Amino acid sequence: MNVLHCCSELFPLLKTGGLADVMGSLPLAQKKIGLDARVVIPAFPAIKDNIPDLKLVTNIDTFAGNVSLLYGQYHGVDIYLIDAPHLYQRTGSPYHDQHQHPYGDNVFRFALLGWVASELSAGLDPLWRADVVHAHDWHAGLACAYLAVKHYSAKSVFTVHNLAYKGEFSPYHLHQLELPDYSFSINGLEYYGQISFLKAGLFYANHITTVSPTYAKEITTHEFGYGLEGLLRQRAYEQRLSGILNGIDEAVWDPATDSLITRRYDVKNLNKRLENKTALQKKCGLSVNNSALLFAAVSRLTSQKGLDLVIETLPDIVEQGGQFILLGTGDSHLEAAFLHAQQQYPQNVVVHIGYDESFSHQVVAGADVIMVPSRFEPCGLTQLYGLKYGALPLVRHTGGLADTVNDCSLENLAHHQATGFVFYEATPDSLRQAINRAFTLWGMPKQWQQAQTDGMNQTIFSWETAAKTYATLYQNL
């Protein structure tokens, strides 16, 4: 079966969030189980400049101007690049300029992505055509619409990585994008008077997936549905909505083979893990103290991620002798608040504004607790890295966090099911109680190590598992 993934990010070449990690792993996992999985992506400089030996497939005139379709391979995955320098040859983010303003021509930049994906199911490459077009997030949503309005035979799957971003543009562009009038309606891609690329994916796809089972349920509710919950409930009723949990790339994230950490270890020699904590404390200028409970957060600094709750509870961590390390970047007021906390508690709190892939590995390998207190979380990967590395996740019960972390209750500990700390309300008090439970378990070394071991021994969070589940879905379509 020929599967085409349509996306806008690809780890390690171009990453702004978890979507890139998925696209860097899922196609390769699918190839390993016998699918011919390929990727189509805009030829952003970070991608085009790092894929060698690109070959020209064809030149095409499109509504967005003349475009070249290139073909290459990266780490064993076949990749089509849409080479349109007037659209994609820009430094920095693929979505916005240095002032964080979305590019004014994003409507064409990402409509073209969907258009090319649909044509790759209809002979654009004379040597290969897609049986299934698998579109990811709003940037690729129009792929599903083009397949439907052109009556192409390929099936479409649309994966929601984050429903909060809807890709909204003026209906003025409808004809410019070669979309028919009838598509601009409530039974189509219209969303409160705008064209929504996300709505296009949700309405026209043969099947919708989210990146965790719980998030698939949550987005059918008013709290998480962003005004699309009615449509999503209908798709769920039609059995066209399901959740498939992300995996982690064990070639990148495995403490037994990770070259970025101070000392490699596995579940059978957890004592070696302490060297990573010591090295992390030294690197960050914290007192080297094994008995200090070391919390960490590696995250985008946004309201969604619940980092404002962490700021409120830092005094509780400090008062109990804990330490805290932050690695992240995002909203300026959150960055300022964390930097202020570092000034307030210089012995206990260390803040690194920015993103550093190497340092993120060292943090996960050295911290005792990894905090993911999100208000909503489609899947989350940081808690999976924590489980793999023996850093107990402290998470809010939502989305993929609810699916992957079991609270260290006495009952769960007794049944070897405890893997972290879970709180339910997005409030400082609820988080504070989870922090206190972490300190309590920290005082019980035997039980703490049992939770680490049980977390590290899990095998369900693999890309092979996810790849097989997607393969079954494609086959059913």
Q: Which residues are annotated binding-site positions for ADP-alpha-D-glucose? A: 15
Enumerate the known binding-site residues. 15
Dihedral over alpha carbons 325, 330, 333, 338 (to 10 degrees): 0
Specify burial of residue 392 (Cβ count, 10 A radius: 0-12, 13-18, 19+): buried
Distance (Å, rounded) from C-alpha 350 to C-alpha 314? 11
Chain-centre distance of CA 57, in angstroms? Answer: 31
Whose tokens are 């570092």? That residue is 342
The residue written with tokens 């919708």 in the block is: 208
* Bridge partner list, 191: 194
Backbone phi, psi, residue 355, to 5°? -135, 135
Query: How far apart are alpha carbons 228 and 210 in whole angstroms?
Result: 14
Residues 27 and 156: beta-carbon distance below 8 Å: no
Exposed / middle / buried, residue 152 (Cβ in 10 Å: 0-12, 13-18, 19+): middle
> Hey, what are 8's tokens?
């806008």
Phi, psi angle pair for 344, to nearest 5° = -70, -40
